[in-house]
């Protein structure tokens, strides 16, 4: 067989000096050569958009603490927004002709719509704060598991060294 390039470094052309039969049921069909694209891992390219665009994608145990603190800080901020929302209810008033929406007939309906938006927003903010706190705790649990695994690996490596040292001493004596 001869390997002949067509001038393209990403293309391989192989010519066989003797025609090769393809299948016993098709005696006249023969292959005289093969051509294929040269594809390898070193030719692979990842788009910048897929690679994260410079965003850090690797973490270590120390960075888990700062990420958990960031989550809790934002949880506190969102919880603070949630607790300050009582001002909105006070400003909306009680309805019934009193308050900023006035006393016209549709004011009560409008007040009801505002309260529904208020209630759903407050529930959403409260859930978001709870989720941020839960994410921080989950991240701390991941860190504990990571550290435990690291310690177990270190102890295993240390134990392996002891065993190898003991067996080496046993072999020498």
Residues near 61 by Cβ (< 8 Å), separated by ≥ 6?
Answer: 143, 146, 147, 150
pLDDT tens track for 45-68? 655 555 555 555 566 667 788 888
Q: Coil, helix or strand for 37? A: strand
For 90-120, give the DSSP string.
HHH--BTTBSTT-SSHHHHHHHHHHHHHHHH
CA 66 to chain centroid:
18
Question: What are 41's two structure tokens?
Answer: 């891992």
d(CA 101, CA 9): 76
What would the mean pLDDT of 125-148 be, rounded to a whole number? 89
Reported in sequence order, the residue ranges of 24-157 that DSSP labels E, i.e. its strands, are 26-37
**Global pTM?**
0.53
pLDDT at 173 over 50: no
Mean pLDDT of the region 137-145: 86
Query: What does DSSP assign to residue 7?
Result: S
pLDDT value at position 56? 59
34-46: pLDDT as tens digits: 777 766 656 666 5
The neighbouring-strand residues paired with 98 are 95
Residue at token pair 């921080």: 136
> Per this entry, what is the length of the chain?
173
Q: Which two tokens stand for residue 8?
A: 């393209």
């Amino acid at each position: 067989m001869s390997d002949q390039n067509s001038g393209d470094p990403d293309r391989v052309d192989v010519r066989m000096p003797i025609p090769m039969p393809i299948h016993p049921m098709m005696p006249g069909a023969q292959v005289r050569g093969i051509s294929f694209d040269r594809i390898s891992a070193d030719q692979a390219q990842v788009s910048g958009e897929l690679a994260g665009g410079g965003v850090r994608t690797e973490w270590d145990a120390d960075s888990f603490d700062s990420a958990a603190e960031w989550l809790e800080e934002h949880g506190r901020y969102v919880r603070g927004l949630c607790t300050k929302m009582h001002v909105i209810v006070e400003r909306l008033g009680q309805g019934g002709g009193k308050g900023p929406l006035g006393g016209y007939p549709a004011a009560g309906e409008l007040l009801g719509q505002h309260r529904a938006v208020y209630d759903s927003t407050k529930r959403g903010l409260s859930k978001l704060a709870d989720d941020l706190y839960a994410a921080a705790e989950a991240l701390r649990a991941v860190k504990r598991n990571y550290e435990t695994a690291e310690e177990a690996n270190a102890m295993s490596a240390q134990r392996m060294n002891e065993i190898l040292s003991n067996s080496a001493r046993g072999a020498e004596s």
